[in-house]
Amino acid sequence: QVQVAESGGGLVQAGSSVRLSCVASGRTLNLYYMGWFRQAPGKEREFVAAIDWNGHSPKYGDSVKGRVTISRDNTKNTVFLQMNSLNGADTAVYYCAADRSYPRLVSGTSPPNNWGQGTQVTVSS
């Protein structure tokens, strides 16, 4: 079983950057793929980024590609999401998820207990 907890959100200016963190706890964390999703008010949850267990082969959602970098530090059980050139469309609750199945992770269908509570990012113009 794995638990994850996000941090780093807040109110940011348009055009600026933010780095979100997700700390994972549990056994054999280095076997888990990690990912980020977001959900804006009135919209469905959207895939943002995912990374495999050794930090390679990142995958990004089309709406953030080129502005976002996902990375992980297994020594700290942490995955990061660096977001640049923020705009109003980036305003959302950002969720971290962990899964041993990469396809299940990127599809957003990981078990409910593998998700964090989310961190709010609000971009002001």
One-letter identity of residue 122:
T
Question: Mean pLDDT of all residues in the chain?
Answer: 94
**Does residue 1 register a pLDDT over 90?**
no
- The β-bridge partners of 93 are 39, 120
**Residue in 11, 6, 21, 8 with CA at minimum distance from that of residue 80:** 21
pLDDT in tens, 20-61: 999 999 877 778 899 999 999 999 999 999 998 888 889 999
pLDDT of 19 strictly over 80: yes
For the chain, the C-alpha Rg in angstroms (whole number) is: 13
Rounded Cα distance between 31 and 19, Å, is: 23
The pLDDT value recorded for residue 53 is 81
The per-residue pLDDT for 68 is 98
Q: What is the mean pLDDT of residues 65-89?
A: 95
